[in-house]
Structure 1
Amino acid sequence: MPLQPHFGKQGVLLVNLGTPDAPTPKAVNRYLGEFLTDPRVIDNLPGVAQQVLVRGIIAPIRSGIVNPFKPGGSTKLYQELWTENGSPLKYYGEVVTEKVAAELGDEFVVRLAMRYQSPSIETALNELLAEQVSSILVFPLFPQYASATTGSVHQEVMRLLSKQQTIPDVKLVNSYYEQPDLIKVFADNARDLGDLGRYDHIIFSYHGLPQRQLKKADDCNHCYVKDGCCSTISRVNQFCYSAQCHATTRAIAAELGLAEDRYTTSFQSRLGFDDWAKPYTIDTLETWAKERGAKKILCFSPAFVADCLETTIEIGVEYQEEFEKWGGEHIDLVPSLNDDPRWIAALTSMIRAETTEPVA
């Protein structure tokens, strides 16, 4: 039983990273400007320098806003990603929100928000408060915790709620990287592809983070100091993004009965010249193609719950092209969770486990 009765409905805020409103230079520039000026994303520059660099150089060049008749690299990629339903990340987020709300029933109010762009966290919170909810469960759609994703979402939610005169009960979900229902959905999506024995190797590719961010989150002098520091989850690394990614891999591999030599955990989407979490997915693919003669690779992307640039384009197109150049034949990407009914059921179950039944 809760400490006090809940007279209103329970609010649920599902939050994903974000996406441009359109695959145009102007919209992409606006999205990149907001995303890359978050001090939790680019964390090694003073505020003013970060604003000047991002808004004056990086975002205009990558979006093509400096020459709208010749879209920049990021805009071209979003144009490839876009579907008749718009951005897959936003589309599936809306579908999932609607279906989860239907499963939870009338005593819940469920809203979708994006950390960057629309629908904004502020808009979604205002809608929940307007419904006079008794509590708000903040559920980031990132299975693994990272300061640049979940941490940023939590900070923004707390910043906005701190302006309110009355703040309802708030619960922040940190991570769910080896939650059994989630793991089973990822594994079942792989099983749906048929016999996994036909693949020369299986890669679990996660979005990368700079090593400095991993070390900054380490209060116990553990990260990159102890060999195999990500091989188990313990008190000292319980919030480590890399350790949680490895834990997700181990859980899916166990569900599928994979031997340790059948799979590798790696990291993608590296930017800049600093060292990021290793090994890099692109290097892993090159090694398996050139040195081990791999022809068929199966790739999971368990840091994402919906199609996005990092899955559909980076792995499905860019890595595929490189793999073929190195002598490989095909990379099969395990489908994202998207609006899979099994994912809807798993998400609904996790939300119920984090909330209490309302008391009228």
Structure 2
Amino acid sequence: MQVLEVTSVPTTQKLKTGILLVNLGTPDSPSVPDVRKYLREFLMDGRVIDIPTPNRWALVNLIIAPFRAPKSAKVYQELWEERGSPLKFYGEDVKALLQQRLGSDYVVELAMRYQNPSIQAGLDSFQKAGLRKIIVIPFFPQYASATTGSVYEKVMDIVGKWQVIPEISFTNTFFDHPKFVEFFAGAARKYMQEREYDFFLFSYHGVPERQILKGDATGTTCQLNNCCDRLHSGNQYCYRAQCFATTRLLVQELGLKEGTYATSFQSRLGKTPWIQPYTEDMVVKLAKEGKKNVLAFSPAFVADCLETTIEVGEEYKEVFEKNGGQHWQLVESLNNSPQYIDLLADLVEKQV
């Protein structure tokens, strides 16, 4: 009887772990054609506008993209810097800093859910590298179907077609990470040392009410009111509840008094109800109530972008001052801060 001898094949190269950092996306340039291209890809996502595909196609391609692109392009031109879109170049900074922090056992790639660099390109490079594991980190502090959920779906759609699928893990939220809270509280304290603020507004990106209700699998938890007063097993993945939880953490860290702060939601689209209260209404209300100095936060964004710099930092400031307010200050986002790199490195370590 012949005995087969099995010998191990020595590994000459240590297998690496891929880290895919994913933000929402930005146009390739502030030109009207590039902005229109971005809007079409973004808004045709069924998790962003969750209506039947034919209706969504007509709405996006016949109404929103043609008419909104020229207006949005002007705003992007105001936002654009020498390095390009802040959302993208801050992402590139974070990629480089995290790669340096993690070392040669990791391969860090930056991707955008819409436009470039694409998730497809990032995953293609991982596939060719023969990685041991892939860790996907969506750049969204709170979970929402239209953001984190969309990234999950896109990644799984691409990797699901591979013949060999390596181990893959995802991070879900990080709004309650100590470094996240530490950064926003620290950034706020700098402004609070310069002047006294009589109100603190925490503004988050809005989503349609129907998406929050659809996320309640039990059909019994979500009431869009006091059910967001605390996080529990029934609403742990509710975007609105997580936003209110983010506010509570920052309020506690800053020692703010009851009645001096509020949570609101911005960036409505269309006529259907979105989660409330609306930031634009809140700004007018605060000014008319006699609030003179407001410190505003945008804790749903990790990089300063159109929704923070322009919408909260400039447009709401103009509305506030027009209605009698005196001083409006936006707290900057995480951008490429050391606390953000620490936070991401910790998320990687926990996954590994």
Q: Separation in 2 of the partners of 1:310 and 1:121?
A: 22
What does residue 67 of structure 1 align with? none
Question: What code does the residue aligned with 1:271 have?
Answer: L
SS in 2 for 1:202: strand
Alignment of 1:32 onto 2:39: yes
What does residue 291 of structure 2 align with? 294
Runs of 4+ in 1 over 4 A off after TM superposition: none
Question: What code does the residue aligned with 2:336 have?
Answer: D
SS in 2 for 1:190: helix
CA contact (8 A) 2:295 2:329 kept: yes
1:87-98 map, 5 Å = 87-98=85-96
Q: Separation in 1 of the partners of 2:30 and 2:270?
A: 24
What does residue 262 of structure 1 align with? 260
CA contact (8 A) 1:222 1:229 kept: no
Alignment of 1:186 onto 2:184: yes
Q: Say which of 113, 116, 131 aligns to 1:115.
A: 113
CA contact (8 A) 2:221 2:234 kept: no
Alignment of 1:54 onto 2:52: no
**Runs of 5+ consecutive residues of structure 1 not aligned to the other structure:** 64-71, 356-360
1:138-287 map, 5 Å = 138-195=136-193, 198-222=196-220, 224-225=222-223, 227-287=225-285
SS in 2 for 1:11: strand
Alignment of 1:342 onto 2:348: no
TM-score, reference length from structure 2:
0.94
1:58-69 map, 5 Å = 58-63=64-69
Pairs aligned (count)? 341
TM-score, reference length from structure 1:
0.92
Question: What code does the residue aligned with 1:309 have?
Answer: L
Q: Say which of 12, 17, 34 aligns to 2:24.
A: 17
Structure with larger Rg: 2
1:136–1:256 CA distance, 2 compared to 1 (3 A): same
Question: What code does the residue aligned with 2:321 have?
Answer: E
**Runs of 5+ consecutive residues of structure 2 not aligned to the other structure:** 1-10
Which is worse superposed, 96-105 or 180-189? Answer: 180-189
Q: Separation in 1 of the partners of 2:221 and 2:333?
A: 30
CA contact (8 A) 1:214 1:223 kept: no
SS in 2 for 1:232: coil
The CA deviation at 1:197 is 6.9
Q: Separation in 2 of the partners of 1:222 and 1:203?
A: 30
What does residue 6 of structure 2 align with? none
Q: Deviations over 1:116-169 (max 9, x none)?
A: 000000000111122211100110000000000000000000000011000110
The CA deviation at 1:186 is 1.1
Question: What code does the residue aligned with 2:53 have?
Answer: G
Which is worse superposed, 101-110 or 187-196? Answer: 187-196
Which is worse superposed, 106-115 or 193-202? Answer: 193-202
SS in 1 for 2:227: coil
1:335–1:38 CA distance, 2 compared to 1 (3 A): same
What does residue 307 of structure 2 align with? 310
1:220–1:20 CA distance, 2 compared to 1 (3 A): same
Q: Separation in 2 of the partners of 1:225 and 1:129?
A: 44
Q: Separation in 2 of the partners of 1:127 and 1:301?
A: 33
The CA deviation at 1:259 is 2.1
Q: Deviations over 1:168-197 (max 9, x none)?
A: 100011111211111111111111223387
1:176–1:24 CA distance, 2 compared to 1 (3 A): same
Question: What code does the residue aligned with 1:199 have?
Answer: Y
Alignment of 1:86 onto 2:84: yes
Question: What code does the residue aligned with 1:30 have?
Answer: K
